[in-house]
Amino acid sequence: MSETPSNQMSDLKFKTKKDTVATILGWVTLVLFMAGTYFAIVSPPDKNQGDLVRIMYVHVPTAWVAYLAFAGTAFFSLMYLIQKNRRFDRLAAACSEIGLILMSLTLLGGMLWAKPTFGAYWTWEPKETTTAILLLIYVGYFIVRGMIDDPHRRARVAGVVGVAASLSVPLNYMSTGWWKSLHQGYTVNILGKTSLSADPRMLEALFINLIAFTVLFVYLLRLRGKLAARLERQEDRELEREFQMSQQTSQDTVKGSA
Amino acid sequence: MSSPAKLNPLSTPIKRHARRSKVGYWIALFAFLGVAGTLIYNNLGTNLNYYITPTEYKTQEGDYTDKTLRMGAQVKMGTVKYNKETFDLRFVATDGNMEYPVHYNGGIPDLFKEGLGVIVEGKMVNGTLEGSNLLVKHSEEYKAPSKGIDLSPKSLTGG
């Protein structure tokens, strides 16, 4: 392959084919968020907490999507380790990024909710402690990714870390059940006996926001996945060019010495 | 020699080298190890129990002499005495089996009321838990208020 002007241009100009799926997902997300906000506002205040209960309509969905994203990391990491297709590595990293952001928001929202209800922003109770550990683990995942240059080796190591890290998700979810905690139990109980313990109008607002955040996750994953594919192509081209240059330099050296 | 002008400005070797610099990741790694180490060091030896119940305290009373403890219990109905001038709060903490009087001075969380679960951080002095920190454990059940209920924090503290 020779360095022709057209070849160079293709580096600068990415294929900008319109992603219809992403556009649709974006609009659906927007509409669902508008509906979610509306129902969160018209739902009644809580008997004890008053309007503070509305934090739940953001706090629970962000936590759910973070769990979903980390489950995605584990799934795509495992798929990479089995099939060695770098597409899965890109999706695993994208899932981790989304999960890390949403879990940080969950922590922030939780602290803002804890201050007026529990009486303190942070008390090292089990839910808080396991969340801190979870965040630390996924920060570690990105440090690992950043430290390795070889794309295939990076994907392999990150794949193993991505699968192992997912253990922190059930640890975090079960923390209120396994240990005595300050954090309340499950309003929407899905393990064991299924139960819903809130006003139906509150549950309505909660579930619409859960759906909205879930669609947002799919949308973000799509965008981040595409972006990661572009970055990967660029990285590959750079590696190839570096190789060519080293070839050329060695040829020049041979010519020069002759 | 190959002229540098032939190369794409976006990916000259210098640029590429700068982008791949790992200094940031090394700093992140050390920060990570520092935080993780501190977390582990601080929590080593402390058990996973976030709080003890009055009954558990009774059986391990000796272990907590002059030590700060966290007691999780229910605020016994009809025992809350709150002085609005001095912010002095007294109530009885119970788990249905054992009960201890609690004394606490300071701002109380809005949700505090009789019958609710609380976690009191403090030291046991002559059979009374002298609380330095008062936390409220609220229920996972959420209900709309029935009409006519006063929702102001004052009415909820029973003061």
Same domain, B36 and B63: no
Closest-CA residue of chain A to B34: A136
Sort out which chain B residues have CB atoms less than 8 A from A139's CB and list them. 28, 32
The reply to whether residue A132 touches residue B138, judged by beta carbons under 8 angstroms, is no
- For residue B49, being part of any structural domain is answered with no
Nearest to A213 by CA among A73, A77, A106, A71: A106
Q: What is the pTM of this model?
A: 0.82
Residue A22 reports pLDDT greater than 70: yes
- Number of domains present in the structure of chain B: 2
Alpha carbons A230 and A99: distance in angstroms, whole number:
21
Average pLDDT value over all residues in chain A: 89
Q: Are residues B134 and B63 in the same domain?
A: yes
A146 CB neighbours in chain B (<8 A) are: 22, 24-25, 28
Q: What is the mean pLDDT of chain B?
A: 78
**Domain range enclosing B127:** 54-139+150-157
Residue B130 within a domain = yes
Work out the pLDDT band at A249, boundaries 50, 70, 90: confident
Tell me whether residue B2 is in a domain: no
CATH number, domain at B83?
A: 2.40.50.140
Residues B37 and B65 in one domain: no
| B65 conformational bin, left if phi > 0, alpha if psi -120 to 50, beta if neither | beta
Residue A241 in any domain: the answer is: no
Cβ neighbours of A197 in B, within 8 Å: 140-142
How far off is chain A from B6, nearest CA to CA, in Å? 8
For residue A235, tell me if it sits in a domain.
no
Of A118, A33, A54, A210, the C-alpha closest to B142 is A54
Number of separate domains in chain A: 1
Average pLDDT over residues B35-55: 78
**Residue B71: inside a domain, yes or no?**
yes
- Domain containing residue A155: CATH number: 1.20.120
Q: Which domain holds residue A60?
A: 20-229
Flag whether A1 is in a domain: no
Residue B3, pLDDT above cutoff 50: no
Within a domain: A3: no
Is A184 inside a domain boundary? yes
How far apart are the C-alpha atoms of A44 and A56, rounded to whole Å? 13
Closest CA to A134 of A183, A169, A109: A169
Asked if A11 and B141 come within 8 Å (Cβ–Cβ), the reply is no
Residue B75 domain-assigned (yes or no): yes
What's the ipTM?
A: 0.72
Q: Which residues pair with A104 in a beta bridge?
A: none
Indicate whether B85 and B122 sit together in one domain.
yes
A48 to B111: CB separation less than 8 angstroms, yes or no: yes
The larger pLDDT score, comparing residue A190 to residue B105, is at B105
Per mean pLDDT, which of A166-175, A207-216, B64-73 is the most reliable? Answer: A207-216
Amino acid at B118: V
CA distance A155 to A161: 10
Under an 8 A CB cutoff, do A249 and B2 touch?
yes
Q: How would you classify the pairing of strands B69-75 and A188-189?
A: unpaired
> Which of A49, A139, A201 is facing B32, going by the closest CB pair?
A139
How far is it, in rounded angstroms, from Cα A56 to Cα A188? 12
Domain contains B144: no
